[in-house]
Amino acid sequence: MIIHVEMHDRERYAREISNYFRLRKAVFHDRLGWNVVVQGDEERDVLDDLPCTYALSLDGTGAVNAGARLIPTTQTTLLDLAFDGLVPEGISFRAPTIWEVSRLCVDEANAGERLSAGLAMANLELALANFDYARRNGITHYLTVTERRGYELTRLFDMGVELLGHQTIEGCPVVCGLIAIDDRTLAAAERMRPLTLGRPPSGRGATSRGPARATPRSDRGTSEPTIRSPQE
């Protein structure tokens, strides 16, 4: 089950949020060795005190087995605080319809079955739920900072992710990408949705290994940020 915990629901889901913070510590501090702020057995930063939404995947016992933090780019984001220089100068992405997805993590030992591409089922369910959340809330793009392997998975499933920048940070390849919540992305999501029900993906290209094509700028909506791709 996926829940989206907004600011007004934090007290109601305090246990689940605490479990998510503990999972973040286990992944980013303990496993990856990143220089992150740790408070006891939790990893949290100043952004967790600001308005944001937690997307949490719960297993059958109610334990958090995956999670991510969604932040509107009109306020301070993790990209501002921790990834200086990841996106080249001249690329602007601030808009009320563009949200950052950060602190995405998965409990590898408790994330359900794995797909043939190596993606945990909890991770796929979380991504699909976040696309649904975007449609309900007028979000047109997700800005994401993730490990390189996470970006490669989006290419595998033919989601149109525009690569904005990449670096190796503390020995870990990290990329920043922009995901348009458009017809192409939503069609790819619907092709993959049957997997969460134990069925094969529907339609052709559901597991395409070809590179994702950038969404043509002429097809994007009026809320599209001014972006200059590093490859141009």
Q: Taking the domains of the chain in order of start, what are their residue ranges?
A: 67-219
What's the pLDDT tens digit per position in 161-189?
888 888 877 777 888 889 999 998 888 88
Confidence band for 136, pLDDT divided at 50, 70 and 90: very high
Question: What distance in Å separates the CA atoms of residue 182 and residue 196, rounded to the nearest whole number?
Answer: 21
Nearest to 194 by CA among 139, 125, 133, 127: 125
- pLDDT above 50 for 29: yes
What's the pLDDT tens digit per position in 187-218?
888 988 887 776 555 554 333 323 333 333 33
The answer to whether the CB of 55 falls within 8 A of the CB of 2 is yes
More confident residue, 117 or 124: 124
pLDDT at 192: 82
- Looking at every residue in the chain, the average pLDDT score rounds to 79
Residue 117: HSE in the Cβ half-sphere, 13 Å Cα cutoff? 22
What's the pLDDT tens digit per position in 39-95?
999 999 999 999 999 999 998 899 999 999 999 999 999 988 887 777 777 777 889
Question: What distance in Å separates the CA atoms of residue 127 and residue 136, rounded to the nearest whole number?
Answer: 14
Instruction: For 67-219, give the CATH class.
Output: alpha beta
How large a percentage of the chain has pLDDT more than 70? 75
